[in-house]
Amino acid sequence: MSGSSGNWFGKLFKKASQPGSKYVPGNDAGAWINHGVSLHLGGREKEAIRCYDNALELDPRHPLAWHNKGISLNSLGRYEEAIHCFDKALELDPTLDAAWEKKGDSLERLGRQEEAAYCHKKALLMEAQSHQND
């Protein structure tokens, strides 16, 4: 790929993540998730959550949408809601090591150390298994 392709993406990302952006991903769950990520990276968690909700309306069985929504909820200190989202992601894909890890982080924030330790161990196990399958 040429350098201009990367520059084009950078400009799109910058434009889409700016306050007041009118970018709308349409009827593609993946595009809504990507837009949510760009908003999350810009610190715009509430807007990111709306993007993940739009993705879930289009595809309620998309584990990444549930996972990413949980991350944004975590960033807002809404740990119980985040745990629910990570549980949904793991129900759909029990091998999603990042969801195990983030669920553990949320549980830790709530002082539920034993459950958090279990999730963190599970995350390490899933990550190790995914590397064995590479």
Helix (H, G, I), strand (E, B) or coil at 115: helix
How high is the pLDDT of residue 107?
Answer: 98
Do 32 and 51 contact (CB within 8 A), yes or no? yes
**Tokens of residue 121, six digits:** 């161990």
With respect to residue 2, please indicate whether it lies within any of the assigned structural domains. no
With respect to residue 116, please indicate whether it lies within any of the assigned structural domains. yes
Encode the chain (134 residues) as per-residue pLDDT tens digits. 334 434 433 444 454 545 555 567 788 999 999 999 999 999 999 999 999 999 999 999 999 999 999 999 999 999 999 999 999 999 999 999 999 999 999 999 999 999 999 999 999 999 998 878 76
How high is the pLDDT of residue 115?
Answer: 98
How high is the pLDDT of residue 8?
Answer: 35
With respect to residue 79, please indicate whether it lies within any of the assigned structural domains. yes
**Tokens of residue 108, six digits:** 């830790």
The CATH code of the domain that includes 75 is: 1.25.40.10
Domain around 25: 17-132
Backbone dihedral region of 78: left (phi > 0), alpha (psi from -120 to 50 degrees) or beta? Answer: beta
How high is the pLDDT of residue 13?
Answer: 47
Q: What is the pLDDT of residues 40-73, one digit of tens each?
A: 999 999 999 999 999 999 999 999 999 999 999 9
User: What is the number of structural domains in the chain?
Assistant: 1
**Tokens of residue 114, six digits:** 């034993």
